[in-house]
Amino acid sequence: MAAEIIKEEVSGCLARWLGRGGACLLVYPEVKRLMFRIAMRLLLGFEPHQADGGSERQLVEAFEEMSRNLFSLPIDVPFSGLYRVSQPLNMQELKESATELLFGGHETTASAATSLITFLGLHPEVLQKVRKELQGNGLLCSPNQDSKLLDMEVLEQLKYTGCVIKETLRLSPPVPGGFRVALKTFELNGYQIPKGWNVIYSICDTHDVAELFTNKDKFNPDRFMSPSPEDSSRFSFIPFGGGVRSCVGKEFAKILLKIFTVELARNCDWQLLNGPPTMKTGPIVYPVDNLPAKFVGFSGQI
């Protein structure tokens, strides 16, 4: 059921992009709205017919304002991001706000999906390999043929597509790092970290310094194809964090991104109008220019 909803939303979104007739489109905000809509349906049970376009847009804007203000100073002054909503909260309201923050995971999938569009746009040879895998699994059919149903069993067979997603998350992890509290005093590289100290770990730097990865700056999904330490090390590839506190939504994110990649590859060709984007962290990684691009329908020829 979840896969069907994701496919329905992604297909509808791509159809709207293609319906623009090749006009310039800002990818990142468009993908954010798509992922927000998927999150509303799957995580909150909020069906599209329950709100018109205006109401949905208000929800998106309200949530984005909340996200921007997560790192604002919690003071009630006009220049503070929390000025508009600064008021006492009871415990129930705090619980509801926590639920909203869980719901906010759509921003990470939007970041990852935007990076997928970027890397596949910059590396057409990789996009062709994705399409060949889809063709081999009955997912890239001519207009007079029926494609195989895109279910969990079929998704599991798309090994190379999964490697494209892994390589995207290696080079451009949506979340740059995380915070933890030391449960006991320990030593790391000759430095003593006292119990109770706040510790930050960097996902980006971990991927960058990991000795297991060769040609680290190259976009090479094949590095994950064969069984190797590059795929198995728990300390070298951590786009979802690690240990017992790793991202609870990582399996959902993997399925969502794989369906997104499949639908993108078998429906669209596109051109990045500004070339490789400059990326910014705020706190999610995103392209500064919002990734302007032109989308046209895929011809079906590989």
Query: Alpha-carbon distance 209 to 35, whole Å?
Result: 31
Each residue's pLDDT tens digit, 216-266: 999 999 999 977 655 556 778 888 887 777 777 788 899 999 999 999 999
Is the pLDDT at 301 greater than 90? The verdict is no
Mean pLDDT computed over every residue of the chain: 83
Whether the pLDDT of residue 298 is over 80: the answer is yes
Residue 41 lies in a domain: yes
Instruction: Give pLDDT, residue 70.
Output: 56
Q: Is residue 198 situated within a structural domain?
A: no
C-alpha closest to that of 118 among 251, 219, 24: 219
What pLDDT, on a 0 to 100 scale, did the predictor assign at position 144?
47
Q: What percent of the chain has pLDDT over 70?
A: 75
Q: Indicate the number of domains in the chain.
A: 1
Nearest to 234 by CA among 225, 226, 244: 244
Partners of residue 247 on adjacent β-strands: none
State the pTM of this model.
0.84
| 237, 230 Cβ separation under 8 angstroms | yes
Q: Is the pLDDT of residue 76 over 60?
A: no
**141 with 147: CB under 8 angstroms?**
yes
Pair of tokens at residue 54: 């205006």
- Residue range 47-51: average pLDDT? 58
From CA 67, how far away is CA 146, in angstroms rounded?
Answer: 42
> In terms of residue numbers, what domain contains 105?
2-172+218-225+246-297
147-200 confidence digits (pLDDT tens): 677 888 999 999 999 999 999 999 999 988 888 899 999 998 899 999 999 998
Pick from 105, 114, 101: which is nearest to 168 by CA?
Answer: 114
- Whether 107 is in a domain gets the answer yes
Is 91 domain-assigned?
Answer: yes
With respect to residue 236, please indicate whether it lies within any of the assigned structural domains. Answer: no
Mean pLDDT for the stretch of residues 269-279: 96
The helix/strand/coil state of 258 is helix
What integer is the mean pLDDT of 67-75? 55
Q: Which of 88-97, 115-124, 210-219, 248-257 has the highest mean pLDDT?
A: 115-124
Asked, for residue 149, whether it belongs to a domain, the answer is yes
Amino acid (one-letter) located at 221: P
Per the domain annotation, does 165 fall within a domain?
yes
Whether 96 is in a domain gets the answer yes
The confidence band for 128, taking pLDDT boundaries of 50, 70 and 90, is very high
Q: State the CATH number of the domain containing residue 123.
A: 1.10.630.10
